[in-house]
């Protein structure tokens, strides 16, 4: 069996991600591994065409930067609350929040930087047109990660996953 010393679990704060985090915490306790819980704050697009309509271009950029900072702070607080909820004597866990435009690429980058042995990630189970429209962060992580990836699929609730 692989020596597992560090596990990465990305979250988008959804129910499936919560289930994956529960499983990741169980594995981390079992292997006495460190659990890195990651959230990627989506970077706000800055369409250059919109600048032509902005009366004060500096104000426009400052407001976007402030909004991103607020999102980042909110994510840190949410992750902190989650880690408090999962706190147990046998679990070493820490939160990582980063800003990025592509969640899958950021997850893979963090996994490489942190030298994780395992990624535990939720799959929302989208099929058909929803998969085509939304793509799959999990699918890309599975394809491109250098370490093993354990996918956790949430129970189907019926019409919303088909």
Mean pLDDT of 29-43: 94
- Confidence category of residue 58, pLDDT binned at 50, 70, 90: low
- In the chain, the domains with their CATH numbers are 6-153 (3.40.50.620)
Position 51 scores a pLDDT of 62
Q: Is the pLDDT of residue 29 over 70?
A: yes
Which residue in 122, 99, 101 sits closest to 11, CA to CA?
A: 122
Position 7 scores a pLDDT of 98
Kindly give the interhelix angle for 103-114 and 137-144, rounded to the nearest 10 degrees.
40
Position 53 scores a pLDDT of 67
Residues in the chain: 162
Q: Is the pLDDT of residue 95 over 80?
A: yes
- Confidence category of residue 153, pLDDT binned at 50, 70, 90: confident
């Amino acid at each position: 069996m692989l020596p597992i010393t560090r596990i990465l679990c990305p979250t988008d704060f959804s129910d499936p991600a919560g289930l994956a985090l529960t499983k990741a915490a169980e594995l981390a306790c079992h292997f006495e591994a460190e659990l890195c819980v990651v959230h990627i704050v989506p970077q706000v697009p800055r369409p250059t065409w919109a600048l032509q309509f902005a009366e004060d271009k500096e104000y426009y950029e400052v407001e976007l930067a402030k909004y991103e900072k607020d999102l980042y702070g909110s994510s840190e607080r949410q992750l902190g609350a989650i880690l408090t909820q999962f706190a147990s004597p046998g679990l070493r866990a820490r939160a990582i929040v980063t800003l990025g435009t592509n969640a899958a690429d950021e997850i893979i980058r963090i996994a490489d930087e942190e030298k994780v042995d395992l990624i535990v990630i939720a799959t929302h189970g989208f099929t058909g047109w929803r998969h085509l429209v939304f793509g799959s962060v999990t699918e890309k992580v599975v394809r491109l990660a250098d370490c093993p990836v354990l996918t956790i699929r949430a129970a189907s609730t019926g019409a919303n996953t088909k």
